[in-house]
Amino acid sequence: MEMRILGQGLEVSKLGLGCMSISGAYGPKLSRDESNALLRRAVELGVTHFDTAEMYGPFTSEEMVGEALEPVRDEVVIATKFGFRIDPEKGANVRAGRSTTGFDSTPAHIREVCEASLKRLRTDRIDLFYQHRVDPDVPIEDVAGTVGELVKEGKVRHFGMSEAPLDLIRRAHATFPVTALQNEYSLWTRDVEAGMLPALREMGIGLVPFSPLGRGFLTGSLKPGEVPEGDWRAAMPRFKGEAAETNYRLVEALHALAQKTGHSAGQLALAWVMAQGDDVSPIPGTRKIERLEENAGAAAIELGADDLAAIESAFPQDEVVGGRYA
């Protein structure tokens, strides 16, 4: 698979793998054998970029990633995150964030998370360490400075931020270079294009889009009214009622376009995201090997200007109904 460079020289595969779902975000947690098979198949397909976080599970996603990738540790890039206080006694419910009790990006806590994540991931360094969400009570300079110290100590290689506002990214970057920003980005969520993406390129920061398949909706496999009971997507405006019906018509148009080219709607959606720049590495998640293989196939799709225009015409952003979150 083609490789790309994020920010400060971090080489990753064109397409990565988000590892939130393996710990139970979309259905039951995978078994040890299932997660090992999935993650190792990703490596066979050329995926080198694996994204997890301590709050996924909580903790179980990191453990699963660590076990599966230990035999190939030097061949892959592992990203994880800090920034929350986690209370395991509240139970594993990453879907609603109920295992978290608030933000915590204090320097001492960042160091605690780093040490714990290193153990769960069975590694001596974290390739990309993100602040999961901004902590309003801790100056971003303290956060960036602490991660910078961890880099100097060899425990972390690169610093990332997730869903952070541009002014804080600039302040953090001035303290210690930011390698990547992780934000939602897909055909139905294109907010980053207006001001964020040009600014990231000005600073030399890569973009890691999460939910590039619209949490599965853009594949066409999740029809209106079919969100499973208890699934956290059921509370999201885009998946409900008339909004879901309207949005699904856009998915059908994308599917019709994809059929003409011999691809799936999901592959076309992923190819569109990857075509937005060589500094973009999306991390679609999945629990199924067949979906993983389908997604990996999208990395080989080359889209020209006419192809991109046709996709955007079939799925116009201004016709998407409903917000990202309730």
Which domains, from first to last, does the chain contain?
3-214+276-302 (3.20.20.100)
* Region of poorest pLDDT, from 42-46, 100-104, 181-185, 318-322: 100-104
Contact residues for 286 (Cβ-Cβ < 8 A; gap 6+): 17, 21, 38, 292, 295
Structure confidence at residue 135 (pLDDT): 98
Tokens of residue 113, six digits? 């998370």
Structure confidence at residue 94 (pLDDT): 43
Query: Catalytic residue at 56?
Result: yes
Q: What's the half-sphere exposure (Cβ side, CA atoms, 13 Å) at 169? A: 28
Instruction: Give which of 79, 17, 11, 74 is closest to 42, Cα–Cα.
Output: 17
Tokens of residue 21, six digits? 């779902």
Instruction: Give which of 194, 209, 138, 206 is closest to 171, Cα–Cα.
Output: 138
pLDDT confidence bin for 226, thresholds 50/70/90:
confident
Structure confidence at residue 148 (pLDDT): 98
Distance, in Å, from the CA atom of 50 to the CA atom of 13, rounded to the nearest integer, reads 9
The per-residue pLDDT for range 109-160, each reduced to its tens digit, is 999 999 999 999 999 999 999 999 999 999 999 999 999 999 999 999 999 9
* Region of poorest pLDDT, from 12-16, 172-176, 226-230, 282-286: 226-230
Instruction: Give which of 206, 138, 209 is closest to 177, Cα–Cα.
Output: 206
Cβ–Cβ under 8 Å, residues 160 and 181 = yes
Structure confidence at residue 95 (pLDDT): 44
Mean pLDDT to the nearest integer, 240-268: 96
Exactly one of 56, 130, 185, 248 is catalytic; name it.
56
- The separation between the first and the last C-alpha atoms of the chain, rounded to the nearest angstrom, is 37
Given a cut of 50, is residue 60 above it in pLDDT? yes
Given a cut of 90, is residue 39 above it in pLDDT? yes
Mean of all residue pLDDT scores within the chain: 94
Distance, in Å, from the CA atom of 62 to the CA atom of 266, rounded to the nearest integer, reads 26
The per-residue pLDDT for range 2-11, each reduced to its tens digit, is 999 999 999 9
Cβ–Cβ under 8 Å, residues 269 and 254 = yes
Q: What is the dihedral of CA 210, 282, 16, 314, to 10 degrees?
A: 110
Mean pLDDT to the nearest integer, 219-236: 85
Structure confidence at residue 321 (pLDDT): 95
pLDDT confidence bin for 227, thresholds 50/70/90:
confident
Structure confidence at residue 91 (pLDDT): 52
Q: Pick 125 or 27 by higher pLDDT.
A: 125
Cβ–Cβ under 8 Å, residues 298 and 271 = yes
Sign for the pseudo-dihedral over CA of 76, 82, 84, 87: positive
Mean pLDDT to the nearest integer, 69-80: 98
How many other C-beta atoms lie within 10 A of the C-beta of residue 196? 19
Given a cut of 80, is residue 289 above it in pLDDT? yes
Given a cut of 70, is residue 83 above it in pLDDT? yes
Structure confidence at residue 90 (pLDDT): 60
Dihedrals phi, psi of 193, to nearest 5 degrees = -70, -30
How many other C-beta atoms lie within 10 A of the C-beta of residue 171? 16
pTM: 0.95
Q: What percent of the chain has pLDDT over 70?
A: 96
Mean pLDDT to the nearest integer, 302-320: 96
The per-residue pLDDT for range 155-169, each reduced to its tens digit, is 999 999 999 999 999
User: Between vectors from CA 25 to CA 21 and to CA 29, what angle results, nearest 5°?
Assistant: 70
pLDDT confidence bin for 228, thresholds 50/70/90:
confident
